[in-house]
Amino acid sequence: METADGPGDRGNQTDKMSGRYIITGLIFLAILLHFSSVAFGAEEILIGLIPEENIFNQMQRHRPLAAYLSAKIGTTLRFTVLSRYGDVMDRFVSRKMDGAFFGVFTSVMAMEMIDAEPIARPVNLEGSSHVQSYIFVRKDSGIRDSKNMKGKRIAFVDRATATGYLFALAYLREQGISDLKAYFSDISFTGSHGSTIYTVLDGRADIGTVKSKIFQIAIAKDPSINDELAIIAKSREFPENTLFLRKDLPQKIRSQIKAALVGMDRDPEGAEVLKSLAALRFIETKKGDFQPFYDVAQKAGIILRTYKYR
Partner 1 sequence: MFLINKRTLSLLSGILVIVFSMIPSVSLAAENTIGVIMPGDLPYYQELHRAFMGRLAREGILARRVIVQKPYPETMSLSNTARKLIATDVDVIVAYGAPAALSVVNEQTKIPIVYAAAYEPLMTQIKARNSTGITIKLSISSLLRYLRGLTRISTLGVVYNGNEEDSVLQFREIVKLAGQYGVRVDGVNLTRHQEAKTKLHGLKLDALLLTGSSVAHLAMPAIAELAREQKIPIGSFLLCRDSDAVVTLATNPAEQGEKAAEKVIKILEGVPADKIRVETAHQVELVFNFKEATSMGWKLPMDLVTEATRLIK
219 closest CA partner among 190, 189, 198, 240: 198
Contact set with partner 1 (CB under 8 A): 54-57, 138, 140, 153, 185-186, 195, 198-199, 201-204, 222, 224, 228
161 closest CA partner among 180, 184, 201, 134: 134
Assess contact for 160 and 106: CB atoms under 8 A. Answer: yes
235 closest CA partner among 304, 157, 166: 166
CB of 209 to partner 1, least distance (A): 18
CB of 48 to partner 1, least distance (A): 19
Q: For partner 1, which is the closer residue by CB, 132 or 141?
A: 141
Q: For partner 1, which is the closer residue by CB, 58 or 107?
A: 58
Q: For partner 1, which is the closer residue by CB, 222 or 295?
A: 222
CB of 91 to partner 1, least distance (A): 21
CB of 202 to partner 1, least distance (A): 4
What φ, ψ does residue 53 adopt, rounded to 5°?
A: -140, -170
Q: For partner 1, which is the closer residue by CB, 181 or 308?
A: 181
- E-state strands within 104-237: 117-124, 130-131, 133-138, 153-156, 186-189, 207-211, 229-234
Q: Give the whole-angstrom CA distance, residue 52 versus residue 50.
A: 6
CB of 143 to partner 1, least distance (A): 12
Which 3 state secondary structure label does DSSP give 47?
strand
Q: For partner 1, which is the closer residue by CB, 195 or 235?
A: 195
109 closest CA partner among 262, 242, 277: 242
Q: For partner 1, which is the closer residue by CB, 198 or 309?
A: 198
CB of 65 to partner 1, least distance (A): 20
Torsion of CA 149, 150, 151, 152, to 10 degrees: 10
CB of 184 to partner 1, least distance (A): 11
Assess contact for 137 and 206: CB atoms under 8 A. Answer: yes
Q: For partner 1, which is the closer residue by CB, 19 or 151?
A: 151
